[in-house]
Amino acid sequence: MKGLAIDDAAWSSRWRERAVRDKACLSLGLLLTAAVLPPWPTSPLVAAVALGLLVTRAGTPAGLVARALRGPALFIVIGCISVAVVLTTGDGLGLTVTAESTHRALGVAGHAIAGTSAMLLLAMTTPMVDLLAGLRRLRLPEACVEVAGLIYRMLFILLDSVGTIRESQAARLGYSSLRRSLRSAGMLTAAILTRSWSRARRLEQGLAGRELTASLRTLDDPTPSSPAFLVAGGATLVALVSLAALTTGIAA
């Protein structure tokens, strides 16, 4: 069974043993900085710091980081196109791109890329089991944590099913042409949806049959927080905010 590349990177990260609280403070601080301050030059600075720490300090391969960014980048591009294109009603309905809409779309892209980079810093250094344990310590409702944990466990089963079905389709030349590829992709999607629904019902019935009303907890051995890490992260955030404020003239 193949795992998730991001999850594998988190387990092998140099920051794996660091406290979840420390990494969450740094990532959320970067996210807040990117969301609150103007996008230029804040967003490139936040993205550079987040990805730089991920590669140089956490030891995540740069190629893996680039592959992890491809999916979110595609959604960001599609979203920015919808922001840049404006519907005009002057001489009939039409679509156009103005300087204002382009500026707004670039701003949205900057915020989105910086926020994604900040969240990727946390996701690629912290395994999901540590995140779930951290959420429990934060007193998040148990039902939310339990649902997140079940979805995480189900992902690996569904990924294995996707690989098996796709391999079977490829062996039958299901992807030999564009038309066959579209048909095979549709059948694959339908099979995964029905299979995930069936597995979820079987899991629910199995747990109900055992009269399991408590949560499926794992061992929680929290790592002590590191004052040096928190101080370095705080200094980085202060430097980022100061530089962005001076550059954009907010501090003037």
Q: Which residues pair with 96 in a beta bridge?
A: 86
Could you give the angle at the alpha carbon of 202 between the alpha carbons of 199 and 208, nearest 5°? 140
Burial class of 183 by CB neighbour count within 10 A (0 to 12, 13 to 18, 19+)? middle
Average the pLDDT over 149-175 and give the result: 85
**Mean pLDDT of all residues in the chain?**
86
DSSP 12: T
Could you count the other beta carbons within 10 Å of the beta carbon of residue 9? 23
pLDDT digits (tens, 9 = 90+) for 136-155: 888 888 878 888 888 888 88
Highest mean pLDDT among 19-23, 92-96, 206-210: 19-23
Query: Tokens for 33?
Result: 């900085």
Interval 181-194: pLDDT, tens = 999 989 988 988 88
- The pTM score is 0.82
Over residues 93-116, mean pLDDT: 89
Binned at pLDDT 50, 70 and 90, residue 132 comes out as confident
- Which whole-number Å values give the CA distances from 210 to 148, 204, 214, 229, in the listed order? 21, 10, 11, 45
